[in-house]
Amino acid sequence: MKRKIGVYLCHCGSNIAGYLDVAKAADYAATLPYVVVARHYSFMCSDPGQDMIKKDIKELGLNGVLVCSCSPTLHLRTFRAACAEAGLNPHLCEMATIRELSSWVHSHDRVAATEKAMALIAAGVKRVLYRNPLEAKWAPVNPNTLIVGGGIAGIQTALEIASAGEKVYLVEKEPSIGGRMAQLGKTFPDLDSTEELLIPRMEMVKTSPNIELLTYSEIAEIGGYIGNFKTTINKKARCVDETKCNGCGECWAKCPVEVPSEFDYGMRKRKAIYIPFSKAVPKIPVIDRKNCKYFIDGSCKACESVCPTKAIDFKQEDKKIEIDAGACIISTGYDTFDPSPITQLGYGKIDNVVTSPEFERMLNPDGPTGGKIVMKNGATPKSVAIAHCVGSRDQNYHQYCSRVCCMYSLKYARLIKQQLGADTNVYQMYIDMRCFGKGHEEFYKQASEEGVNFIRGKIGQISTETITDEEKGKLVVVCEDSLLGSMIRVPVDMVVLSVAMKPRADTADISRAFLLGRSADGFFLERHPKLDPVGTMLDGIFAVGCCHGPKDIGDTVAQATGAAARALELISKGRVDIESATAFVDEEVCAGCGVCESICAYSAIEVNPKTKLAKVNEAICKGCGACAATCPSKAMQLKNFTHKQLIDVIDEATKDFAGLAK
């Protein structure tokens, strides 16, 4: 086929034409081999600009197009679509970035900028020359969605998708859904009971015909690609038959074993057969096999003997379940920072120094104290200090701000005053007050007006050593008041440490399994902080809620709803476009060393152990080219980016252009 290439230079208003000689560059382009037409125009991306290309394709029979303008990220799609409309395979259209790489960076030297544009155009024409038409490829989308993590983020996403009539698998590793939100007392800034907000939604998950709930389950394996993920779930043995159990509670009432409850941070006991909290969904207990007497020495079967539905099944085993899904939502939540390493705060050593999650349990009516704020001896505190930024904004622990602590610390102050009386002294030891959300600043103002004491400074020490009579029997909070510029001692009955939110302990495992990137703070990395805060680098996988970074419930729900929309977008489209410029293997040359296989970030390459040849799964390949760059014999290449082509293009771009623009 005789190549006929059209070259189109864009003025981009004065962005390009103001700094280089587009007419001269176009004249030069016209002299290049195979170029049959070279034009320049004020805005190539405008309708008249695109029409110019379409007209030439039809009238001059172009079979290659080079648009010399901005970057391909901005407009490659536009120009390829225009070419396709005129009947040219879109892969025969290329761009030369003469704006970002020439006019903008060489705005001080018109001649040099023009010469560089010529080099980029010459190289671009070579690129077009080597391009082959590629077929557009697509794959069908499985309409199911897999959600990993059943906190408020996962619940919200599941409900949104299910209410649109699509199937959801909600996988939760704990015995009940609810996540961290279920542990909290009240929300800010409206002081609503979390229970009233959350429990109805948990019940909706249970009753929705479109949601299949898999609690006490974890992801064992994941493979596949957008639209077609294949996962294996490990459903851990509950030792209770879920189809028989009616949640009557006879078993945990009878169980003789008591161990500290994880859900209550050890503030009360649970049984060896238990539900984590009274409103658990599903209300089906699990047997903690590590502590159950039957599993230790076979000495007890109390639960089995009292169970009215014969649901106890000591022989139950872990089960593998295979789930196919088109989209995956990761909503695995966060852990809280353990402040024991900050020894000067005395956590774990001094009574009545508690963490914020523990304090939340105290505020929860279903919690270990029945919603009462009490000290270890059962008395009510007369004064409480709240330490902000414990483990957050701290070079030694987490540099980031946990975003919610200022607000929940204010919430504590107001709830303490509500419950224990307005005369209770509450101190906030803060670095900066960050109350930026809707209604948050007002909430802060209200707390101030209610007489909460604000001390700007970090706590230096919490101590039981007292000096004055006033301090006797109290905890002394020693801190610097940085507004006064002096050290102060504040005697209080109780200290709440507002601890940082941090990535879950198993974040690394999840990130490996789903091939998710992580940002420097350890949380999952979004595709784009502004334009795609829900997506991840892997198509079809979305990260929502606090596994993506600290955020409050409102932001979490907003993000979850966004992810649901993204999953539904996929489902309603029903098909996914697949990259056409994928890698391919020259089987004559491939030595089967597998370096490409191990370097592929998308697991798109496999070496066949029999033939000793690498094989590319084109549905997964993103055309990134890492394999092609790594392969020492260059058996691995990228369609339309072959090595011969690249070397030729470099050769062309490094020709001598001096003097051409004068």
Partner 1 sequence: MTKSVTLSVKDGKIREAVNSFLKELFNKKTIDAMLVPLAHPAGTNVVQALVTKAVFVDKADVFAPVMPVNSARLIQSITRLTTVDRKTAVVLRPCEMRALIELAKLKQVQLDKLVLIGIDCPGAYAVNNYPKFAAEKKSDDFVKAGFQWAEDTMLRTGCQICEYPYPLTADITIGMLGLDPSKQILIQANSAQGEEILSKAGMSLEIDSDLAQKRQTAITKFAGEIKERRKEFFEKTKREIGGIEKLSKVFAQCIKCQNCRQACPVCYCRECFFISPTFELDADRYLRQAEKKGALRMPSDTLLFHLTRMNHMGNSCVGCGACEEACPNDIPLLKIFQLAGSEVQELFSYVPGRSLEESLPATAFKEKEFEQIGEK
Q: Which residues bind partner 1 (CB under 8 A)?
A: 508, 520, 588-595, 598-599, 607, 612, 630, 632-635, 643-644, 647-648, 651, 654-656
* CA nearest neighbour of 660 among 40, 254, 111: 111
Q: Which is nearer to partner 1, 209 or 609 (CB)?
A: 609
Least separation, in Å, of the C-beta of 509 and partner 1?
13
Whose structure tokens read 């970002």?
Answer: 100
Least separation, in Å, of the C-beta of 507 and partner 1?
11
Least separation, in Å, of the C-beta of 612 and partner 1?
6
CA separation for the pair 591, 608 (Å, rounded): 11
Q: Which is nearer to partner 1, 491 or 592 (CB)?
A: 592
The answer to whether the bond into 133 is cis (omega within 30° of 0) is no
Q: Which is nearer to partner 1, 33 or 308 (CB)?
A: 33
The answer to whether the bond into 189 is cis (omega within 30° of 0) is yes
* Segment holding 357, helix H or strand E: helix 356-363
Q: What is the dihedral of CA 361, 362, 368, 373, to 10 degrees?
A: 180
Partner residues linked to 581 by β-bridges: none
Residue 292 token pair:
């159950």
CA separation for the pair 52, 44 (Å, rounded): 8
3-state secondary structure of 418: helix
Q: Which is nearer to partner 1, 135 or 656 (CB)?
A: 656
Least separation, in Å, of the C-beta of 379 and partner 1?
48
Strands 353-355 and 35-41: unpaired
CA separation for the pair 636, 652 (Å, rounded): 23
Least separation, in Å, of the C-beta of 33 and partner 1?
11
Q: Which is nearer to partner 1, 266 or 594 (CB)?
A: 594
Q: Which is nearer to partner 1, 326 or 592 (CB)?
A: 592
* CA nearest neighbour of 201 among 598, 557, 624, 626: 557
CA 437 to chain centre: 21
Q: What is the DSSP letter of 179?
A: G
Q: Which is nearer to partner 1, 310 or 655 (CB)?
A: 655
Give strand ranges (E) for 285-420. Answer: 286-287, 319-325, 327-330, 334-336, 353-355, 383-390
Least separation, in Å, of the C-beta of 593 and partner 1?
4
Q: Which is nearer to partner 1, 23 or 508 (CB)?
A: 508
For residues 149 and 178, the answer to whether their CB atoms sit within 8 Å is no
Partner residues linked to 232 by β-bridges: 221, 322
Least separation, in Å, of the C-beta of 501 and partner 1?
21
Q: The sheet that has 217-225: what strands, in order across it?
A: 217-225, 228-235, 319-325
3-state secondary structure of 626: helix
Least separation, in Å, of the C-beta of 173 and partner 1?
23
Least separation, in Å, of the C-beta of 517 and partner 1?
11
Least separation, in Å, of the C-beta of 230 and partner 1?
23
Q: Which is nearer to partner 1, 379 or 508 (CB)?
A: 508
Q: How would you class 35 by CB atoms within 10 Å of its CB: exposed for 0-12, middle for 13-18, buried for 19 or more?
A: buried
Q: Which is nearer to partner 1, 164 or 599 (CB)?
A: 599
Residue 412 token pair:
């504590």
Q: Which is nearer to partner 1, 152 or 653 (CB)?
A: 653
Least separation, in Å, of the C-beta of 118 and partner 1?
16
